[in-house]
Amino acid sequence: MSDVSAVKAALKSQVIETPSWGYGNSGTRFKVFAQPGVPRDPFEKLADAAQVHAHTGVAPKVSLHIPWDRVEDYAALTRYAEELGLRIGAINSNVFQDDDFKLGSVTHPDPKVRRKATDHLLECVDIMDATGSPDLKLWFSDGTNYPGQDDIAGRQDRLAEALAEVYERLGDDQRMLLEYKLFEPAFYTTDVPDWGTSYAHCLKLGPKAQVVVDTGHHAPGTNIEFIVAFLLREGKLGAFDFNSRFYADDDLMAGAADPFQLFRIMHEVVKNGGLKTETNVNFMLDQCHNIEAKIPAVIRSVTNVQEATAKALLIDTEALSAAQRSGDVLASNGVLMDAFNTDVRPLLAEVREELGLARDPFAAYLASGNQERIAADRVGGEQAGWGA
List the interface residues with its own copies, window 330-369 (CB under 8 A). Answer: 330, 332-337, 340-343, 345, 362
**Which one of 17-25, 80-88, 121-129, 199-207 is the stretch in contact with its own copies (CB under 8 A)?**
199-207
Q: Per residue in 47-73, is it b (16+ CB within 10 Å) or e — as a string?
A: bbbbbbbbbbbbbbbbbbbbebbebee
Query: What 3-state class would DSSP assign to 377?
Result: helix
* Closer Cβ to its own copies, 57 or 193, answer by number: 193
CB-nearer residue toward its own copies: 77 or 347: 347
Binding mask 254-293 for its own copies (x = CB under 8 A): --xxxxx---x--xx--xx-----------------xxxx
Please work out the total of residues on this chain that contact its own copies, with binding judged by CB under 8 A.
104
Amino acid letter, 356: G
User: Does 110 sit near its own copies (CB under 8 A)?
Assistant: yes
Q: Do the beta carbons of residue 320 and residue 335 sit within 8 Å? A: yes
Which part of the chain contacts its own copies (CB under 8 A), choosing from 52-60, 276-284, 320-328, 372-380?
A: 320-328
Spell out the alpha helix ranges (H) of the chain. Answer: 4-13, 42-56, 74-83, 111-131, 152-169, 195-205, 224-234, 259-271, 294-314, 317-325, 329-341, 345-354, 361-368, 370-377
Q: Is residue 64 classed as helix, strand or coil in its secondary structure? A: strand
Is residue 375 part of the contact set for its own copies (CB under 8 A)? no
**Does 146 help bind its own copies (rule: CB under 8 A)?**
yes
Interface positions, 36-95, toward its own copies (CB under 8 A): none
Is residue 125 within 8 Å of 170, Cβ to Cβ? Answer: yes
Cβ proximity to its own copies: between 277 and 330 the closer is: 330
The correct pick among 45, 245, 285, 374 for binding its own copies (CB under 8 A) is 245
**Residue 343 CB, nearest approach to its own copies (Å):** 4
3-class secondary structure, 63: strand
Note whether 248 binds its own copies by CB under 8 A: yes
